[in-house]
Amino acid sequence: MLEPSFRDPFRISRRVATLGVVAAAAFLTACGGDGSSNAGATATLAVLETTDLHFNVRSYDYFKLAEDKTYGFERTATLVRAARKEFANTLLVDNGDTIQGTALADYEATISPIPCTQQLSMYKAMGALGFDAGTLGNHEFNYGLPFLNQVLGGGLDVEGVDASKKCAGAGYPMALANVYSSKTQKPLVQPYMLLERSLIAKGTDGKEVKLPIKVGVIGFTTPGIMNWDKRYLEGKVYTEGAVEAASKYVPELRAKGADIVVALLHGGLDSSAYSPTMENPGLYLSKVAGIDAMVMGHQHSVFPDTAAKPAYSQAGVDNNAGTINGVPAVMASSWGKALGVIQLSLQWDGTKWAVNKAASKSELRNIQSKNAAGTTVYVDPDATVAPLIETQHQAAIQYVKTPIGQTDFRMSTLFADVGDPGAIQIVNQAQQTYVAAYIQASLPQYAQLPVLSVSAPFKSGFQGGSDYTDVAVGPLAINNAADLYLYPNTVYAVKVNGADIKNWLEAAAQRFNQIDPAKTTEQALISTFPGYNFDMFTTADVQYEIDVTQARGSRIKNLMYLGKAIDPAQEFVIATNNYRATSGRSFSDKLDGSGTIWASPDANRDVVIDYIRKNPAVTRAANGAAKSWRFASVSVAGPVVFSSGANALAVAQAAGLNNVSLVAADDGSGKGTSKYAVDLSK
Ligand code: MG
Ligand code: MN
């Protein structure tokens, strides 16, 4: 009568819950009013996780203006539907960083703000699946509290926000236990929720039986929001550590009758000592009594991971069992690339459920896999998702094609390996400007230090002759920023000294093979060291030579700052990206995260876009001619050669590289590249 189907009892019983008293009576009748007769019944509840979707509804790259099947909620949705067919009982949760991350997100937040009556496209798409609960990530705060209030439907009682405003909302309830309104001293949104549902269970007689369950859901975000979105949050909200918040609220949830408690942690795992501002406290949260399952995120990584070198291997992490300190857990990558599945094994004692953690298990289901023939295959998109957002999707595409400036030169990395800064300098200018402004405004203790920037030719031919940054003369649109900055990194600022800079450049100079000046036969200049690691300055303030005849580690010569030999002890702030700042230990011991003075929340790509908006007339003279480095002059007996895009010598000449010549139009690699020579004596 109330249940149209047995497929999805959780969503059916959501209807039951809203029908209130009548439904409860019907439920008791169905159970015979005597649950204890079913003592010993068992059930599996599959907790399904999406995390860090970052507004990737479609498998679509708004910068490249092309489909990209490697991500997208429209494909994760297919995995959700399959899991709902497979498991009688499912709980679908989202772990935050949901409303920011694509051009469509920016379009709906700032370019053509979505009206109060309309759901964000991301939430609209998620509504096609019906989420049970969610939490907020750090990026939910990126557009400010009034916008967050609107897209969540209203109710945020915090300074500067009209809490009475009622809007369309997310379509599912949010829990967040560790962010408080300064105005009310109460949690900004409800800290937890108790979902009353019914489970399809197996009785001791082997027959199917429906039994009630109360699922407690509690959420936590990373306290870093107070730094990353300081301008929106300072004085308005404050945070608490995940462990402190859990220790307070999990017992409350239990006291209110929660059979099980699922923690949604917008954070991951870090083995350093616990602190209340810790970004990734999962190892510690898992030890709080009363948490039965933990879904994680924020690090855009994966757990469990059965690869030879798993993403996480700290003490307490069990990648085979899928547990953290014995608690079943998942982290489902990012952008909808995977669905996290925790199968919770439940036992009914006649009045309540308990989790058998040892019999529970967790796994990731990826949208991308290899078939028997070894070919990469992708899960098909769920056909219901794309049509829901088609109008907004097309509007976002028009938005990214909008010119924001223009360039008077071809900005390319075709000859970045031999000295053309043409596609790198603007990235460095944008990063330097952004970090310097932030330090002046918010980090006065570093305001006296010079701010410099490094970047690299991210696209430098690895995939062949078209794998180069190559922006034509003429209008610059938002989507060109993807060509200028390939990766979805965020800007980080690190404090280093002159000696660290030398080490950093020595590491970057591994881009080159060691050249023997006496050798008369051809020598290849470029090593297998990736182009994206060839960090370089592009400013008159920093000058250095790279001597490729020397061994690795001894190649940087005449390193000067403002015309004088750099002082090894002088301190600098360097703008770079999160990747280099946190996993660049082979470049400098300060690049393991310890030298980071600011982990900005903004993508390098967005910073480049913003820079072009403010400096729309891009010229070779101002944005593509500042060479910080050159090869140390050396006569080599034979040719020194390298490959680059086909027949592009004019690009080298336009960059003033008169020591480059074309050797062969086809270098024989089959990758669409020509062979060039560089004369290192010039
Ligand atoms: Mg995050
Ligand atoms: Mn994220």
DSSP structure string for 555-569 = -EEEEEETTEEPPTT
Query: What does the pLDDT read at residue 31?
Result: 44
Query: Ligand 2 mean position to 140 CA, how many Å?
Result: 10
Same domain, 415 and 470: yes
Residue 302 has pLDDT above 50, yes or no: yes
Distance, CA of 526 to CA of 517 (rounded, Å)? 16
Mean pLDDT of 73-94: 98
Task: Provide the phi-psi class of 613: left if phi over 0, else alpha when psi is between -120 and 50, else beta.
Answer: alpha
Query: For residue 393, what is the enclosing H or E element?
Result: helix 385-400
Residue 360 has pLDDT above 50, yes or no: yes
Amino acid present at 663: V
Instruction: Give the SS3 label for residue 147.
Output: helix
Give the total number of structural domains in the chain. 2
Query: Ligand 1 mean position to 293 CA, how many Å?
Result: 20
Same domain, 311 and 234: yes
**Structural domain contains residue 653:** no
Over the stretch 470-518, which tens digit does the pLDDT of each residue have?
Answer: 999 999 999 998 789 988 788 999 999 999 999 999 999 999 999 999 9
Amino acid present at 660: V
Mark which of 337, 362, 391 sits at the end of a domain. Answer: 391
Query: Ligand 2 mean position to 456 CA, how many Å?
Result: 24
Query: Ligand 1 mean position to 221 CA, how many Å?
Result: 8
Distance, CA of 74 to CA of 62 (rounded, Å)? 15
Query: Ligand 1 mean position to 266 CA, how many Å?
Result: 6
Query: Ligand 2 mean position to 101 CA, how many Å?
Result: 8
Query: Ligand 1 mean position to 595 CA, how many Å?
Result: 21
**Structural domain contains residue 669:** no
Amino acid present at 56: N
Over the stretch 111-145, which tens digit does the pLDDT of each residue have?
Answer: 899 999 999 999 999 999 999 999 999 999 999 99
Query: Ligand 1 mean position to 210 CA, how many Å?
Result: 38
**Structural domain contains residue 2:** no
Residue 3 has pLDDT above 50, yes or no: no
Query: What does the pLDDT read at residue 36?
Result: 55
Query: What does the pLDDT read at residue 226?
Result: 87
Instruction: Give the SS3 label for residue 585.
Output: coil
Same domain, 291 and 250: yes
Query: Ligand 1 mean position to 99 CA, how many Å?
Result: 11
Residue 203 has phi, psi (to 5 degrees) of -75, 170
Q: How many helices (H) and strands (E) does the chain have?
A: 18, 37
Nearest to 48 by CA among 330, 354, 394, 409: 330
**Structural domain contains residue 665:** no
Query: Ligand 1 mean position to 297 CA, how many Å?
Result: 7
Q: Which domain holds residue 270?
A: 9-391
Nearest to 124 by CA among 59, 176, 172: 172
User: Residue holding tokens 């019907």?
Assistant: 26
CB 664 within 8 A of CB 672: no
Instruction: Give the SS3 label for residue 497.
Output: strand
Assessment of whether the complete model's pTM goes beyond 0.85: no
Burial (0-12, 13-18, 19+ Cβ within 10 Å), 6:
exposed
Over the stretch 616-659, which tens digit does the pLDDT of each residue have?
Answer: 999 999 999 999 999 999 999 999 999 999 999 999 999 999 99
Nearest to 17 by CA among 213, 259, 258, 175: 213
CATH number for the domain including 567?
3.90.780.10
Token pair for residue 260? 């099980």
Same domain, 313 and 431: no
- Please provide the DSSP assignment of 37-91 as one string: GGTT-EEEEEEEEE---TT--SSEETTTTEE-TT--HHHHHHHHHHHHHH-SSEE
Query: Ligand 1 mean position to 27 CA, how many Å?
Result: 40
Query: Ligand 1 mean position to 93 CA, how many Å?
Result: 16
Nearest ligand to the CA of 229 is 1
**Structural domain contains residue 641:** no
Instruction: Give the SS3 label for residue 542.
Output: strand
Residue-wise burial string across 549-577, b where 16 or more C-beta atoms lie within 10 A, e elsewhere: bbeeeebbeebebeeeebeeeeebbbbbb
Mean pLDDT of 362-367: 97
CA distances to 158, 163, 530, 658 from 675, in Å:
63, 65, 19, 16
Residues forming beta bridges with residue 668, ordered by sequence position: none
Same domain, 364 and 459: no
Nearest ligand to the CA of 137 is 1
Query: Ligand 2 mean position to 98 CA, how many Å?
Result: 8
Eight-state DSSP code of residue 597 = E
Query: What does the pLDDT read at residue 597?
Result: 95
- 385-400 vs 73-86: helix axis angle to the nearest 10? 160
Same domain, 381 and 434: no
Residue 602 has phi, psi (to 5 degrees) of -100, 140
Nearest ligand to the CA of 101 is 2
Instruction: Give the SS3 label for residue 365.
Output: strand
Mean pLDDT of 208-213: 97
Q: Is the dihedral of CA 54, 581, 304, 258 positive or negative?
A: negative
Token pair for residue 345? 């094994």
CATH number for the domain including 128?
3.60.21.10
Query: Ligand 1 mean position to 55 CA, how many Å?
Result: 13
Nearest ligand to the CA of 224 is 1
Same domain, 380 and 454: no
Mark which of 391, 424, 447 sits at the end of a domain. Answer: 391
Query: Ligand 2 mean position to 97 CA, how many Å?
Result: 5
Amino acid present at 48: L
Residue 196 has pLDDT above 80, yes or no: yes
Query: What does the pLDDT read at residue 150?
Result: 97
Q: Is the peptide bond prior to 381 cis by the omega test (within 30 degrees of 0)?
A: no
- Please provide the DSSP assignment of 287-304 as one string: TSTT--EEEE-SS--EES
Same domain, 316 and 422: no
Query: What does the pLDDT read at residue 26?
Result: 36
Nearest to 113 by CA among 126, 127, 125, 99: 99
**Structural domain contains residue 642:** no
> What share of the chain has pLDDT > 90, as a percent?
87
Residue 385 CA to chain centroid, in angstroms? 22
Mean pLDDT of 310-339: 97
Same domain, 352 and 461: no
Distance, CA of 404 to CA of 613 (rounded, Å)? 5
> What share of the chain has pLDDT > 70, as a percent?
95
Nearest ligand to the CA of 300 is 2
Distance, CA of 99 to CA of 51 (rounded, Å)? 11
CB 480 within 8 A of CB 471: yes
Query: Ligand 2 mean position to 472 CA, how many Å?
Result: 32
Query: What does the pLDDT read at residue 320?
Result: 95
**Structural domain contains residue 655:** no
Over the stretch 41-65, which tens digit does the pLDDT of each residue have?
Answer: 999 999 999 999 999 999 999 988 9
Residues 6+ apart with CB under 8 A from 373: none
Amino acid present at 135: T
CB 290 within 8 A of CB 261: yes
Nearest ligand to the CA of 228 is 1
Same domain, 600 and 546: yes
CB 535 within 8 A of CB 580: yes
Same domain, 383 and 531: no
Token pair for residue 220? 């936590």
Mark which of 631, 648, 676 sits at the end of a domain. Answer: 631
Query: Ligand 2 mean position to 78 CA, how many Å?
Result: 22
Amino acid present at 312: Y
**Structural domain contains residue 156:** yes
Over the stretch 375-422, which tens digit does the pLDDT of each residue have?
Answer: 999 999 999 999 999 999 999 999 999 999 999 999 999 999 999 999
Instruction: Give the SS3 label for residue 192.
Output: strand
Q: Are strands 327-332 and 302-303 parallel, antiparallel or unpaired?
A: antiparallel
Nearest to 636 by CA among 505, 514, 511: 514
Residue 12 has pLDDT above 80, yes or no: no
Over the stretch 444-476, which tens digit does the pLDDT of each residue have?
Answer: 999 999 999 999 999 999 888 989 999 999 999
Residue 673 has phi, psi (to 5 degrees) of -120, 155
Query: What is the average pLDDT score of the chain?
Result: 93
Same domain, 63 and 212: yes
Nearest to 214 by CA among 36, 91, 39: 91
Query: Ligand 1 mean position to 598 CA, how many Å?
Result: 16
Residues forming beta bridges with residue 295, ordered by sequence position: 264, 330
Distance, CA of 271 to CA of 255 (rounded, Å)? 31
Query: Ligand 1 mean position to 399 CA, how many Å?
Result: 25
Query: Ligand 2 mean position to 266 CA, how many Å?
Result: 8
Distance, CA of 381 to CA of 250 (rounded, Å)? 37
